[in-house]
Amino acid sequence: MEEQLETSWDKLIEKLSSWFDSLILSLPNFLIALLTFMIAYWISKNLQGYLNRILRRMIKQPSIRGLITNVISVLIIVLGVFLALAILNLDGTLKSLLAGAGVAGLAISLALQGTLSNTFSGIFIAVKDELNIGDYIESNGFAGEVIDIDLRNTKIKEIDNNIVIIPNRMILDNPFKNYGLTKQIRTTIKCGVDYNSDLEQVEEIATSTIEQVFPPTSSRPVEFYYTDFGSSSIDFILRFWIDGKKNLSALEVKSRAIKEIKNAFEKNGIEIPFPALQLLNQPK
């Protein structure tokens, strides 16, 4: 019995001694792995502020910038963990982590397919700078001013003050009109004058009226064209450019232009005819 206990004790001491020897031999690798992970963690934390300052020049939405910096930070930490495991010669553990991460990533991507699609669409929109807060857009049957762009949705405020929330994927997958991408908007006025009017005088008065109210540039003059012989009038269109980035600006300018043209025609005795319904008294 005593001999058996002594043998077991000797084996335990030998085992502990081998473990201790292994620990002493692997201590430099452990310290290097720990140092590698700490450096990766330090870089990930300090790189966030620097990346945020760089991305601020390209991406105006804080939520998109935050997502990109967080993803890069996490990737750096994960890279530090993998390097530390490789230094410790834990190849089996590293392969298991990679396999598990691949399976988990596939499951998450399938479960969050719609959310991830909206997220990447929002990032693409922000990076391409095709849509910014304050732009007036028309998309998916709605029109209004963009008030917010987050990781999933774009919020626009319509003229009647209603808020419309559109998923980023729907904006990216469908055509949309952005008035904010250009500095000028062309306005078109359609009108008609009496058949007895002097057409040269009409053109001169209408053109000069618009030029006085909305001075044109040399490259984009006021355009005037007669278009049709109407049932009660000779029709024409008047086209000119204004500075503006919103459809509302075009409506305001169009309203003012109509009032100015009407006043100018009235001062010069030019009539704008309108259909009249004449009632005839018939004998009973």
The half-sphere exposure of 152 on its side-chain side, counting CA atoms within 13 A, is: 6
Backbone angles phi, psi at 49, to 5 degrees: -65, -40
CA–CA distance, 44 with 87 (Å, rounded to integer): 20
- β-bridge mates for residue 138, sequence order: 143, 177
Confidence (pLDDT) at 104: 55
CATH class of this structure's domain 130-180: mainly beta
Q: The tokens 């399976």 sit on which residue?
A: 103
In percent, the amount of the chain with pLDDT more than 70 equals: 67
Mean pLDDT computed over 76-94: 73
Q: What residue ranges do the domains of the chain occupy?
A: 10-111, 130-180, 182-267
**What is the side-by-side order of every strand in the sheet holding 223-229?**
184-193, 234-243, 223-229
If you compute the radius of gyration of the chain from its CA atoms, what whole number of angstroms results?
Answer: 37
Q: Is 47 left (phi over 0), alpha (psi -120 to 50) or beta?
A: alpha
Confidence (pLDDT) at 87: 74
**pTM for the whole thing?**
0.48
Both structure tokens of 276:
């009249």
CA–CA distance, 77 with 35 (Å, rounded to integer): 13
Mean pLDDT computed over 101-126: 58
Residue predicted with more confidence, 96 or 220: 220
Both structure tokens of 265:
């025609």
Give 111-116's long-range contacts (Cβ < 8 A, gap of 24+). 114/169, 115/152
Instruction: Confirm whether 130-180 and 182-267 share one CATH topology.
Output: no
Q: For residues 77 and 44, is the Cβ–Cβ distance under 8 A? A: yes
Mean pLDDT computed over 64-70: 71
Residue predicted with more confidence, 266 or 127: 266
Confidence (pLDDT) at 206: 94
- β-bridge mates for residue 237, sequence order: 190, 225
Q: Is the pLDDT of residue 280 over 70?
A: no
> What pLDDT, in 10s, does the model give residues 231-276?
889 999 999 988 765 655 677 888 999 999 999 999 999 998 876 5
pLDDT range class, residue 100, cuts 50, 70, 90? low
Mean pLDDT computed over 210-233: 89
Q: Is the pLDDT of residue 105 over 70?
A: no
Residue predicted with more confidence, 13 or 283: 13
pLDDT range class, residue 2, cuts 50, 70, 90? low
Residue 219 burial (C-beta neighbours within 10 Å; 0-12, 13-18, 19+):
exposed
Nearest to 52 by CA among 64, 42, 35, 40: 64
Q: Is the pLDDT of residue 111 over 70?
A: no
Q: Is the pLDDT of residue 103 over 70?
A: no
Q: Is the pLDDT of residue 165 over 70?
A: yes
Confidence (pLDDT) at 279: 46
Length of the chain, in residues: 284
CATH of 182-267, one of 3.40.47.10, 3.30.70.100, 1.10.1520.10, 1.10.390.10: 3.30.70.100
Confidence (pLDDT) at 22: 59
Confidence (pLDDT) at 261: 94
pLDDT range class, residue 190, cuts 50, 70, 90? very high
The half-sphere exposure of 90 on its side-chain side, counting CA atoms within 13 A, is: 15
189: Cβ contacts below 8 Å, ≥ 6 apart: 237, 238, 239, 254, 257, 258, 261
> What pLDDT, in 10s, does the model give residues 4-60?
666 666 665 666 566 555 555 556 777 777 888 788 888 887 777 777 777 777 666
Q: Measured between alpha carbons, how far is residue 149 from residues 164, 181, 264 in Å?
A: 12, 17, 46
Q: Is the pLDDT of residue 163 over 80?
A: yes
Q: Average pLDDT of the chain?
A: 76
